[in-house]
Amino acid sequence: MIADLINWQQQAHQYLVQGEYPQAATLYEKVIVAEPHVLSHYWHLGLLLLLQGQETEAQMTWMLPMTDAKEEQIQIWTNELIQVLKKEAERRETLAEYSLVWAIRQHIKEINPIDINNLFKIILLSIHLEKFEGMELNELGVIELLQAGQSVDLNTELLQEVLQEVLNTVPFHPTSLELVEACLPYFSNPEDCFSIILRAAMKIGHTLKQPVLASRILELYLHLDTQNVEALRHLAIFYQDSRDYSQGIQTAKLCYSLSQELPDKIFAIYLMLRGLMIIGGYWEEIYSSSQELESLFQELIKAQPLPLDEAQTLRLLTPSFAIPHIKDCPAVYKVTHNQVAQIFQTNVQAIAPKQAERYSQSLLNKRVSGISTKRLKIGYLSYALRNHSVGWLARWLFQHHNLENFEIYAYFVDYKLVDDWLQEWYVNQASHAHKLGMNGLEIAEKIYQDEIDILVDLDSMTLDISSEVMALKPAPIQVTWLGWDASGIPAIDYFIADPYVLPDSAQDYYTEKIWRLPHSYVAVDGFEVGVPTLRRDELNIPTDAVVYLSAQRGYKRHPETARWQMKILKEVPNSYFLIKGLSLEEAIKQFFYKIAEEEGVECDRIRFLPQVASEATHRANLGIADVVLDTYPYNGATTTLETLWMGIPLVTRVGEQFAARNSYTMMVNAGISEGIAWTDEEYVEWGVRLGKDKALRDKIACQLKASRHTAPLWNAKQFTREMEKAYEQMWQRYLTTR
């Protein structure tokens, strides 16, 4: 008889493995008749009924032997049943039968609703099966159990996995914040959860564009580790991105006070400057902070060689972005910046030496075996191929590319998981579109494996990840275009410019070869224009008044330029000044009111405009202006193109640096010279003249409208052919240079 029982159980197990549940159940029924006192037989029979979908019968089978049991026996027998179910759940999980595992674990929950490790498994399965909606955290009682602190058998590795997966699930549910807060006390070492928290915060704040939520996550973590400088750095950025500028600046100052090493101090100062410049108006503090930044750069250069980790290295270049907003001195600034860029590249290549060496060797081989008449592979690298100023301008190049001669690859850094029609347009327009994350080494490897011939960076130093990719040099020819000034990274071969946007002397302080296109370094076929939402009467401005407008972000509003603008306003009777741009409204008001009072201009002649919902509406609203007054030392770029497209006269001050010559090259390439000032005095003179001379304004408006059919600025197809010719010439030069 014993032999028969053993045989039946073994055969039943085989039936179970083969999925023949009725046959297995029949055998266990026979075993129970033979051994009714052996409880495990009931557990297995109930499991087989459950696997057949007979849930009620399964529960009755499990309950049958417990009817007359004592309380202490029930607990023991319940644990035995749970172990049988868990063993089968684990076996099914190895077979990737997740729906079945989920059902089994739901019954374990019914038997023991406070088994937190089982609840963790249910959450993970829900995420895997795309059933998770967030409410389960409360419905299952997970958060309540964690808060109670009664989970003595809690599996911390499982807890970390749940925390990571929940935070990585889109859309983000509010109860996930409660989970973070409830989990933190279970980490004896804060570092064990920091990487999970930081990755989640970066994805939520940057990729999903929810900086307020990202701030909240990092705030919770800081309760555990109050002086984590890395957390504070990101928190400062998220505060600023969510327009909590004062908190962002204070957090940046705390970062600076806690920073010990030079690279960390440099980035903390930059975070302070970033917040101060976005607010607009705090120029005394901006000046002192920028001087401290430049001093720290010099210390860094003198301290070389200084070993840096990857995070410190990636933060080296971006702080330089602040300087051109403050002063126009490229011959001095670029010398320092180029040295920092060299340090950046040296350290990036030291982080991934084998990768950098492999690329370098491959490029040597490619030069020798290169084909001069091949279809060139052009790769565009950027985080801004979306609803962004770069995205609005670069699209014409993508649209007009000759796909017979060029194979176009688009590398979307930190691909945005949001509804963005322009981003999707780029995905569909490119021959090959790669939706990538934020790992520079992986992105570089993808570019290398694609065997790109010419890699075009549209971000420059505005994004550390793109800079890291370029420093590794995964492509034989590397170019910077459009997104910003040249980065100074030695691995970049060319910087795309034109005859006007850089002075002739610029090559003296550029490490990249300046490649000047024949007309303009950018061209568009036009802009979408919506319906205006601004009216003079609603702004309490007379219909016969002269309206000046400035539509720039707060960090472009330099006090000297604002002073020139007030001088213009003072000289032109019945004139008003409209100010639009992202900034802290009260701070920017006080900034302009103070200068207006000093120049003797009534403050009630200044109006501050709110942001509008769409780019098309913004462009339509430009039509309220008679004259647009540009900023200096950092000109408008996209805003200048929009102004000229709308046929509005513009006053710009031409400087030496790239950022101070954008409006100049655009005006020249639109066929307009009126309004181009070469000195501070000329800026005021042009502003006054255009304000007083309506006939001149009308003449310029007619010229600009006519230029749509003739000027290089509005001929994106011609511009694309010029860019393509440049690519071909770069390739030929590469093949013939030894």
Secondary structure of 280-332 as H, E, C letters: CCCHHHHHHHHHHHHHHHHHHHHCCCCCCCHHHHHCCCHHHHHHHHHCCCHHH
The tens digit of pLDDT for each residue in 375-404 reads 999 999 999 999 999 999 999 999 999 999
Secondary-structure breakdown of the chain: helix, strand, coil percentages, each rounded to the nearest 5: 60, 10, 30
For residue 1, the model assigns a pLDDT of 57
The residue whose two tokens read 């499991």 is 47
Task: Tell me which DSSP letter residue 632 carries.
Answer: S
- What does the pLDDT look like over 297-340, one tens digit per residue? 999 999 999 889 999 999 999 999 999 999 999 999 999 999 99
The pLDDT assigned to 378 comes to 98
Distances from the Cα of 341 to the Cα of 260, 491, 512, 513, angstroms: 22, 10, 12, 15
Cα gap 4→701, rounded to integer Å: 101
User: In angstroms, rounded to a whole number, what is the distance separating the alpha carbons of residues 524 and 713?
Assistant: 6
Cis status of the peptide bond prior to 305, with omega within 30 of 0: yes
Cα Dmax for the chain: 114
CA distance 409 to 433: 6
Instruction: Supply 321's token pair.
Output: 């972005």
Residue 24 vs residues 12, 47, 391, 473: alpha-carbon distances, Å: 4, 10, 63, 63
| Of 323, 214, 307, nearest in space to 262 by CA | 307
CB-CB contact of 619 with 643 (8 Å): no
Whether 521 and 591 have beta carbons less than 8 Å apart is answered as no
Q: Quote the CA–CA distance of 269 and 264 in Å, as a whole number.
A: 9
Residue type, 319: P
- Tell me the HSE value of 214 on the side-chain side, using a 13 A CA sphere: 28
Decide: helix, strand or coil at residue 727.
helix
* Sequence-separated (6 or more) residues with CB below 8 Å from residue 192: 156, 160
- Phi and psi torsions of 565, nearest 5°: -65, -35
- Give the fold, CATH level 3, of 352-516: Rossmann fold (3.40.50)
- Encoding tokens for residue 105? 């674990």
> Other CB atoms closer than 10 Å to residue 153's CB: what's the count?
8
Q: Where in the chain is the domain with CATH 3.40.50.2000?
A: 537-714
- Indicate the CATH number of 537-714 among 2.60.40.1150, 3.40.50.2000, 3.40.190.10, 3.40.30.10: 3.40.50.2000
Q: Which residues lie closer than 8 Å to 204 by C-beta, 6 or more apart?
A: 167, 172, 210, 213, 214, 217
Percent of the chain at pLDDT above 70? 97
Q: Which residues of the chain have pLDDT under 70?
A: 1, 3-5, 69, 150-152, 366-373, 582-584, 738
Structure tokens at 690: 């255009």
First to last CA, the chain: 89
Domain span(s) for CATH 3.40.50.11380 in the chain: 352-516
Contact 158, 117 (CB under 8 A): yes
**What letter would DSSP give residue 523?**
-
Whole-model pTM: value is 0.88
CA 707 to CA 645: how far, in whole Å? 9
DSSP state of 203: I
Look at the block and give the residue holding tokens 């000034």.
485
β-partners of residue 665 are none
